[in-house]
Amino acid sequence: MKTLTQAEEEIMQILWKLQEANVAGIIDQMPEPKPAYNTVSTIVRILESKEFVDYRKEGRGHIYFPKVTKQTYTQSTTGKLARNYFKGSYKSMVSFFMEQEKLTVSDLEEILKEIHKKDPS
């Protein structure tokens, strides 16, 4: 799966949240200072060429919607992160975040609960 730039990912986050929107609707969700309409329109067309979004015509405009789910993209990027920086080891990745104090014991307990839900043995 192709990776997204920061600007592309920001727009995808909005589309994942809204499920569909025109360019003006995307801009409405963006923080100040809001980018120019043409800038957002160009990024959306790039996302379309990367096959992350599609559109349907509505009147004289387009309504854009995600083709790739947030979960699919998240799985792809975390897998790539684990492969490229932690030799494919999620254990090493979690250990790294523990060492950087990005995860607390409480966070780990929640992760363990999720693991036990998926594999109760």
What domain range is 50 assigned to? 6-66
For the chain, what is the domain count?
2
**Residues 30 and 41 sit within 8 Å (Cβ to Cβ):** no
Mean of all residue pLDDT scores within the chain? 93
Backbone angles phi, psi at 5, to 5 degrees: -75, 170
Does any domain span residue 111? Answer: yes
Write the pLDDT tens digit of every residue in 42-98.
Answer: 999 999 999 999 999 999 999 999 999 999 999 999 999 999 999 999 889 888 888
Q: Assign residue 61 a region: left if phi > 0, alpha if psi is -120 to 50, beta otherwise?
A: beta
Note whether 59 and 11 are same-domain residues: yes
Note whether 13 and 44 are same-domain residues: yes
pLDDT, position 121: 62
pLDDT, position 16: 98
